[in-house]
């Protein structure tokens, strides 16, 4: 599998992770800032949460790591949480904005 194909599989896995308080997946919400594929299929994900006091701060990154690690061929997964830049609804995809009534 090429790096680009693996990245597509990672995005599909991310679309299966939801913030328990919001009925939209973390990818469409704009919580994923970066996905990098390093040699030997090591995956790095830089993400944020809707707020630093999000009650799901422990569970969402752990679920992301679990779902990405389950992809065939992935060697290792690193999920880094950041709040710089802070989350904003501007980061949401059009799909998320429609789902949540922002459009």
| Domains of the chain, earliest start first | 3-95 (3.30.300.130)
Average pLDDT of span 86-99: 92
pLDDT for 23: 87
pLDDT in tens, 45-86: 999 998 888 888 889 999 999 999 999 999 999 999 999 999
Q: Distance between CA 79 and CA 72 in Å, rounded?
A: 18
Give pairs for 49-55: CB < 8 Å, separation 24+: 49/19, 49/81, 49/83, 49/87, 50/19, 50/22, 50/87, 51/87, 52/83, 54/19, 55/21
Report pLDDT for 20.
85
- Counting Cα atoms < 13 Å in the Cβ hemisphere of 69 gives 10
User: pTM of this prediction?
Assistant: 0.92
Any idea which of 25-29, 37-41, 48-52 has the lowest mean pLDDT? 48-52
Token couple for 61:
């990154």
Q: How far is CA 3 from each of CA 13, 63, 79, 102, rounded to the nearest angstrom?
A: 15, 22, 18, 34
Please write down the HEC assignment for all residues of 35-57: EEEEHHHEEEEEECCCCCCCCCC
């Amino acid at each position: 599998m090429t790096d680009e194909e693996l990245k597509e599989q990672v995005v599909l896995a991310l679309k299966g992770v939801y913030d328990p308080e919001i009925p939209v997946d973390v990818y469409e919400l704009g919580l994923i800032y970066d996905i990098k594929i390093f040699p030997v299929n090591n995956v790095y994900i830089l993400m944020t949460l809707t707020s630093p006091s999000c009650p799901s701060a422990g569970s969402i990154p752990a679920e992301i790591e679990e779902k990405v690690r389950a992809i065939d061929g992935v060697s290792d997964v690193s999920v880094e949480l950041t709040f710089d830049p802070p989350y904003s609804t501007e980061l949401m995809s059009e799909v998320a904005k429609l789902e949540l009534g922002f459009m």
